[in-house]
Amino acid sequence: MLEQTFIMLVVGVVAGFGGAILGLGGGIIVTPVLTLAFGLDIKYAIGASIIAVIATSSGATIAFLKDDVLNLRVAMFLEIFTTIGALTGAILSGFFNSTFLFFLFGLLLLFQSWNMYRKLKGSEKPLIKAQPDPTAEKLKLNSSFYDVASKQQVDYQVEKIPGGSLIMFGAGLASGLLGIGSGAFKVMAMDSMMKMPLKPSSATSNLMMGVTAAASATVYFFNGSINPMIAVPIALGILGGSTVGSRVMQHLHARTLRMIFVPVLFLIAIQMILKGFGVNV
Amino acid sequence: MSNNVEQTKQEMDQIELLIGKILRVGVAVAGTVMFVGLVAFFITGTSGYSGQNWPTSFHAIFAGLASFKPFAVMMLGLFLLILTPVLRVVVSIFAFAKENDKLYVWITIGVLAILVIAMIIGHQ
């Protein structure tokens, strides 16, 4: 029992550090590790994972809030759509079996890694300036941040708010259904659709993930999917790992982040899909 | 106009710092409770519950806390951790109110309402 707790603690530290660096929830790491490496029932893995997401988000935000990278208005506005999605997803998850969940998880990761790979190959400077948008003006979503890596103040605008909101609902649905933070989808909504720079997208996504996860976590908490012997050591490990990870993340370049992102997601995706078909690798 | 933007910017920075501090306390409390529960489990060698069971309702958790059952303490810690993002939403409402940003006060209240509904649906 002591050994298992120690292993879970280590899983937490790794997930927290990696999750914060990649702008993911940590859940995307926890669920595959618990199911693929430890053979845990995916329902308990999802329960532990949603706790991992909250711990990553809260741990990372503590570090992020000391600078002005994140955009609180964007976070709160889009949170409406993600929390409704998350609640819907958590309730729906009770109606699906494990095979379906594995398959869905794998497909989600595969799509995401392909999307990021395309962007990585596309151009050196992925930032395309957003067009002035009256909705963004009205909602006061435009902002600026200080980029530590390039050492300059960057002003930015956002656009296509309805499209971004729709992806956010989908991100919330995936979060509630699979116990992930859907950081990948959230970053995609902000950086690809709404044309927000990657760093404020990642930081804002980190903040949003916790709130989104809280909506579905209460459902999982009360229906018994959250096992304290798994979730507690992972949460404690993550609180440590994510605090360190989010500080390191600030000093990395956007391209470096994507280059880590892509192969990790791709490998996990293949494994989850195979697991869905009953093949253990 | 640019003066106004600068002022809003400074206010937001202060708000973010405040939220950061409150969140840090919330996370520290949740982490401490989880840690105490885990240590209690290893010291006493019992979870306080039979087999692979743990309390999942407020009633069962508080009943377990009264007799200091390790799993009840751990579940309380987990629940407090789930509440930390909710706490952040609550604080944001006051922060936007202080800025006289009515639109965002309402938007954030909307988010909180959805979270409360989720809790009620989950607990039933």
Note whether residue B90 is domain-resident.
Answer: yes
What angle separates helix B2-44 from helix A42-64, to the nearest 10 degrees? 130
Phi-psi region of B111 (alpha: psi -120 to 50; beta: other; left: phi over 0): alpha
Are B38 and A77 an interchain contact pair (Cβ–Cβ within 8 Å)? Answer: no
Note whether residue B53 is domain-resident.
Answer: no
* A119 close to A126: Cβ distance less than 8 angstroms: yes
B positions 33-62 inside 8 Å of A (CB): 34-35, 37-38, 41-42, 47, 52, 54, 56-57
**Is B66 touching A (CB cutoff 8 A)?**
no
Which pLDDT belongs to residue B82?
95
Which pLDDT belongs to residue A66?
56
Q: Where are the domains of chain A?
A: 1-277
CA dist A82 and A85 (Å) reads 5
Q: What is residue B42's DSSP assignment?
A: H
Which pLDDT belongs to residue B1?
43
Note whether residue B55 is domain-resident.
Answer: no
List the domain range (segments joined by +) for residue B4.
1-46+62-123
Note whether residue B56 is domain-resident.
Answer: no
Note whether residue B54 is domain-resident.
Answer: no
Which pLDDT belongs to residue A133?
81
Per-residue HEC secondary structure of chain A comes to: CHHHHHHHHHHHHHHHHHHHHHCCCCHHHHHHHHHHHCCCCHHHHHHHHHHHHHHHHHHHHHHHCCCCCCCHHHHHHHHHHHHHHHHHHHHHHCCCCHHHHHHHHHHHHHHHHHHHHHHHHHCCCCCCCCCCCHHHHHCCCCEEEEECCCCEEEEECCCCHHHHHHHHHHHHHHHHHHCCCCHHHHHHHHHHHCCCCHHHHHHHHHHHHHHHHHHHHHHHHHCCCCCHHHHHHHHHHHHHHHHHHHHHHCCCCHHHHHHHHHHHHHHHHHHHHHHHCCCCC
Which pLDDT belongs to residue A111?
78
Mean pLDDT of the A21-42 span:
78
Which two three-digit tokens encode residue A153? 């103040």
Are B56 and A210 an interchain contact pair (Cβ–Cβ within 8 Å)? Answer: no
* A14 close to A242: Cβ distance less than 8 angstroms: no
Collect the ranges in chain B with pLDDT lower than 70.
Answer: 1-9, 11-13, 15-16
**Is B81 touching A (CB cutoff 8 A)?**
yes
Note whether residue B3 is domain-resident.
Answer: yes
* SS3 label, residue B66: helix
Note whether residue B41 is domain-resident.
Answer: yes
Q: What is the pTM of this model?
A: 0.85
* Predicted ipTM of the assembly: 0.86
Q: What angle do CA A17, A58, A239 make, to 5 degrees?
A: 45
Q: What is the pLDDT of residues A91-113, one digit of tens each?
A: 888 788 778 888 888 887 787 77
Q: What is the pLDDT of residues A172-217, one digit of tens each?
A: 998 888 888 787 778 878 887 888 887 788 788 888 889 999 999 9
Mean pLDDT of the A38-66 span:
82
Q: Give strand pairing partners of A154.
A: A145
Scanning every residue of chain A, which has its alpha carbon at the shortest distance from the alpha carbon of B10?
A68
Which pLDDT belongs to residue A128?
61
**Number of domains within chain B:** 1
A213/A249: higher pLDDT: A213
